[in-house]
Amino acid sequence: MKAPIITEMQVIPVAGYDSMLMTLSGAHAPLFTRNLVILKDSAGHTGIGEIHGGDYTHDGLVAMKPLVEGMPVSECRKVLQKIHSAIDPHADEASDGIQTLDISKLKYVVRSEWAIECAMLDLLGQYLEVPMAELLGEGKQRDEVEVLGYLFYVSDKNKTPAGETQYLDESGSADPWFRLRRQEILTPARIAEEAEAVYEKYGMRNFKLKGGVLRGEEEMEACRAVKKRFPEARVNIDPNGAWSLREAISLCRDMHNVLTYVEDPCGPEAGFSGREIMREFKNATQFQVATNMIATDWRQFYHTTALNACDIILADPHFWGFDGAIRMSQLLASWGLTFGIHSNNHFDITLAAFAQVGAAAVGQVAPLDTHWIWQDGQNLLEDTPQIVGGKLQVPQAPGLGVRLNMKRVEEANRLYSSMSSHDRNDATAMQYLIPGWKYDHKKPCLVR
């Protein structure tokens, strides 16, 4: 029987609410944006994918429609080849990846076509009546995927001026985690309280703190506070390369009883690349190192492994593609290294995609990142995958295994249309806290 034909491709930009989360790049805005790809085929099936937001990504996806519509769902790889052939091979040469994390450049690193790959694999899985994980690599390896509790410093949302878009207020929620995640969290005690709330809600026993916000010494105290509360937990920190090599060594050298690994502790300096500096950090501290900054494509990955600069590669399928992420897990398994997934703010469609990729990854798999705990409750699906006992449950239905709620998608699209700008800029919200604030990749955002 011939495979169904893709009859329609829709690209729908959507927005959701966020907390005033702090990172090296500044403070998250009240709203975050994503783009959805919705494919329909001649068999009456619907396939969905989700990718980063903004007009640049949206327009790129819309331009790909003629390469997708009219193609059989079985020819996913051919469609992606056509898209890659049509893309200017020099289009991203101005980008340095995210070694210095200028968040405005992220849209040039993320490849929008991976949302199409996800939606086509969703359709193909439905056609073949198998979960998406069975179509990736060596097939499905597990029915649940461990995820970590992604902890953030949170600033005071009430400092947003009147007349500006306000952050979501959940002070009246009956859910303790929903209440806490919109409050100010800036001390070690409050970070430990955040970890406690995440554990009570989702059962997570492993945690990562987003650093690059306060002085490194204060952030280490927060890690100690989490470890004291959860002595058996894997506790990690990610300052996005904010520390100098000397500072990173000083901060981490004696933290082996607290930290399991360190993610991107330092970056380029003194004429050396981030890969070279990270290798020196490993030499000095004997810590395992994770990254989503110095290996964001295969060429960067080659140089990273040649220097033995990292042990854990966080291969977000929005950077690498779904096939690419699983190929990465296979290669890492062969070399005795560890696979993981990096996350940005996302809806539950990406949560389902992470479940499928995590289910198909082979070898050592670190607990996966997910921002979903900060967006939980803003479901665009009828059947959002659940996190139970710290593990994301993999949908069992064919394809991506979930169903879209178009009414909620339309509401999220209206919220997107209400925004004056769709590009991410974490400096804007920071300027509510520190007038004239400017991004500096070697200064934690609240250290000025």
d(CA 250, CA 434): 28
The number of beta carbons lying within 10 Å of the beta carbon of residue 86 is: 12
Compute the distance between CA of residue 144 and CA of residue 201 in angstroms, rounded to an integer: 17
The domain locations on the chain are 6-130+406-417, 135-393
In this prediction, residue 92 has a pLDDT band, given cuts at 50, 70 and 90, of low
The percentage of the chain sitting over the pLDDT mark of 70, rounded to a whole number, equals 95
pLDDT tens figures, 64-78 = 999 999 999 999 999
CA 443 – CA 447 distance, rounded (Å): 6
Could you tell me what percent of the chain has a pLDDT over 90? 91
CB 114 within 8 A of CB 331: no
* Rounded Cα distance, 64 and 87, in Å: 10
Under the banding of pLDDT at 50, 70 and 90, the label for residue 434 is very high
Give the whole-angstrom CA distance, residue 236 versus residue 418. 37
pLDDT score of 169 more than 70: yes
Distances (CA, A) of 17 to 74, 97, 167: 36, 27, 7
- State the Cα–Cα distance between residues 43 and 289, nearest whole angstrom: 47
Considering the entire predicted model, what is its pTM? 0.94
Give the chain's mean pLDDT: 94
In the CATH scheme, what architecture does the domain 6-130+406-417 have? 2-Layer Sandwich (3.30)
94 has a pLDDT exceeding 50: no
Architecture of the domain defined by 135-393: Alpha-Beta Barrel (3.20)
> Token pair 């995590």 is at which residue?
358
Give the pLDDT of residue 89. 57
Mean pLDDT of 268-288: 97
Write a three-state SS string for the chain: CCCCEEEEEEEEEEEEECCCEEECCEECCCEEEEEEEEEEECCCCEEEEEEECCHHHHHHHHHCHHHHCCCECCCHHHHHHHHHHHCCCCCCCCCECECCCCHHHHHHHCCCHHHHHHHHHHHHHHHHCCEHHHHCCCCCCCCEEEECEEECCECCHHHCCCCCCCCCCCCCCCCHHHHHCCCCECCHHHHHHHHHHHHHHHCCCCEEEECCCCCHHHHHHHHHHHHHHCCCCCEEEECCCCECHHHHHHHHCCCCCCEEEEECCECCECCECHHHHHHHHHHHHCCEEEECCCCCCHHHHHHHHHCCCCCEEECCHHHHCHHHHHHHHHHHHHHCCEEECCCCCCCHHHHHHHHHHHHHCCCEECCECCCHHHHCCCCCECCCCCEECCEEECCCCCECCCCECHHHHHHHHHHHHCCCCCCCCHHHHHHHHCCCCCCCCCCCCCCC
Residue 16: φ, ψ to 5°: -145, 175
Q: Bridge partners of 210?
A: 238
Say what the pLDDT of residue 364 is. 92
Say if residue 91's pLDDT is above 80.
no
In sequence order, what are the beta bridge partners of 49?
37
Q: Average pLDDT, stretch 184-194?
A: 98
Query: In this structure, what token pair is assigned to residue 274?
Result: 């981030």
pLDDT of residue 200: 98
pLDDT at residue 95, as a whole number: 45
pLDDT at 101 over 70: no
Number of other CB atoms surrounding residue 286 within 10 Å: 10
* Active site residues per annotation: 210, 342
Residues counted in the chain: 448
Over residues 115-167, the pLDDT tens digits come to: 999 999 999 999 999 999 999 999 999 999 999 999 999 999 999 999 889 99
pLDDT of 295 strictly over 80: yes
Q: Of 46, 116, 111, 115, whose CA–CA distance to 78 is shortest?
A: 116
If we measure between CA atoms, which residue out of 322, 285, 368 comes closest to residue 120?
322
**Is 305 a residue whose pLDDT tops 90?**
yes
Cα gap 8→68, rounded to integer Å: 8
* Span 309-358, pLDDT tens digits: 999 999 999 989 999 999 999 999 999 999 999 999 999 999 999 999 99
Give Cβ neighbours of residue 240 (< 8 Å, ≥ 6 apart): 23, 24, 25, 101, 210, 211, 212, 264, 293, 441
pLDDT at 375 over 80: yes
pLDDT of residue 432: 94
> Can you tell me the distance from the alpha carbon of 32 to that of 424, in angstroms, rounded to the nearest whole number?
8
Is the Cβ–Cβ distance between 167 and 20 less than 8 Å?
yes
What's the CA gap between 249 and 283, in Å, rounded?
10
